Amino acid sequence: MLAFMISIVAMSTDVMLPALSLIATDLELENLNDSHFTVSSLFLGFAFGQMFVGPLSDSFGRKPIVYISYIIFIVGCLLAIFATSFTVLLIGRVLQGIGAAGPRIICTAIVRDGFEGRAMARIMSFIMAVFIIVPAIAPAIGQGVIYISGWRATFVMLLAMAVISFLWFGLRQPETLPKAARREFSFKSVWSGVVEITKIRTAFGYAITTGFIFGPFLGYLGSAQAIFQETYGAGSYFALYFGMAALAIGSASLLNSALVMRFGMQFLTLCAILSGILISITFLCIVASMSGVPPLWAFMMWLIPTFFCVGILFGNLNALAMEPLGDMAGLGSAFVGATSTIISLPIGLMISDQFSGTVMPLVLGFAIFNIIALMMMNWSRSVPILTLKI
């Protein structure tokens, strides 16, 4: 159930990727490349929503805030369905992002309410693995829906998913935060909680690290359709190639859920980030020697192992950031999510905007920001991670 709730974020992101060019044409965009704002606007609302849903859920309980979030998401879907201009569509996407923040953040808080440490990482890895199946198949689903009913029908599907998830959550999920454990809500208490979190070096540092890892991934989401369909002329096979990369993340998350109990989050995270740096720097040299456009098979040979490393990192970094925040799981989840999204959003926009027919900006982005993430990860610990042993 939690995986399904979180998957709405992924479906909202990916299901309309095959339709970006259609949206640009139908809504008469002057610059067709601006269609990638349908992705970034979702994450803008997502970042904004995360700032509030966590603290509110700490004060009023998990379930009421999830209900309100779904209502906002449904309103956003309706705006997108009936949008007559790109501006209205973007407003709808922002509202979808705000609404999707509730299920995404509060699901993490619900897990943290009952688990911690490696056990939490194991559960989150499993949830993320199921969650990743959705973006693996979302573009293919989107292509089918668009072929039958047009791009607006993708938002009808998101609306239906939200209603199903709303009912499922309401019927099956008990409240995990008892009234005795709730924090008084006030801007002063929220601010003091945020200040307290920033003083926890591990939580603050890993939240920032997550942003640097997620930034290039967001850049990929914004430019994937153009890379596969324009640079490589993949046409309808776009969904296949996109799904292969997404499944690499899912398989890594499943493997991580099995390995984390034995090796620990720190060691696996270090291995994944060092491997990602090595793979991207090596491929960057190859891309530079081929004028920025290597063969499609070579691009996939880089993309799949890179995303496998990302899959290892996602669940572990979230758990590492949340581990010291058990007494404020809602606010902590909101802080980690909002901080990482605020950092990743401009990185993703920068990488997407640099697209000019080559994969160079994407590969360079992964290489640079993985190195920065490693440095940030090293800062996050009182004992440098490079001294870790199994």
Backbone phi, then psi, for 100, in 5-degree steps? -70, -20
Tell me the C-alpha distance between 254 and 227, whole Å. 28
Per-residue pLDDT for 179 more than 60? yes
* CA neighbor of 385 nearest in space, from 277, 270, 259, 274: 270
Tell me the C-alpha distance between 244 and 39, whole Å. 20
Per-residue pLDDT for 390 more than 50? no
Where do the structural domains in the chain lie, given as residue ranges?
A: 2-173+189-381
Q: Please state which of the ranges 137-141, 255-259, 275-279, 330-334 shows the lowest mean pLDDT.
A: 330-334
Q: Please state which of the ranges 10-19, 130-139, 248-257, 276-285 shows the lowest mean pLDDT.
A: 130-139
Per-residue pLDDT for 72 more than 60? yes
Left (φ > 0), alpha (ψ -120 to 50) or beta: where does 152 sit?
Answer: alpha
Q: What is 303-324 written as a DSSP string?
A: HHHHHHHHHHHHHHHHHHHHGG
In this predicted model, what pLDDT tens digit does every residue of 101-126 receive, in sequence order?
A: 888 888 877 877 777 667 776 777 67
The topology under which CATH files domain 2-173+189-381 is Growth Hormone; Chain: A; (1.20.1250)
Tell me the C-alpha distance between 207 and 340, whole Å. 6
Q: Please state which of the ranges 171-180, 238-247, 325-334 shows the lowest mean pLDDT.
A: 325-334
Identify residue 263 by its one-letter amino acid code: F
CA atoms within 13 A on the CB side of 352: 26
Residue 202 tokens read as 């591990």
Per-residue pLDDT for 162 more than 70? yes
Tell me the C-alpha distance between 198 and 342, whole Å. 15
CA atoms within 13 A on the CB side of 113: 20
Confidence of residue 270 (pLDDT cuts 50, 70, 90): very high
Per-residue pLDDT for 128 more than 70? no
Question: Residue 375: what pLDDT?
Answer: 92
Query: Are 228 and 235 in contact, with CB atoms under 8 Å apart?
Result: no
- pLDDT average, residue stretch 197-224: 89
Residue 73 tokens read as 């998401």
In this predicted model, what pLDDT tens digit does every residue of 290-321 receive, in sequence order?
A: 989 999 999 999 999 999 999 899 778 888 88
94, with CB counted inside 10 A (0-12, 13-18, 19+), is buried
Q: Please tell me the pTM assigned to this model.
A: 0.75
Residue 67 tokens read as 């209900």
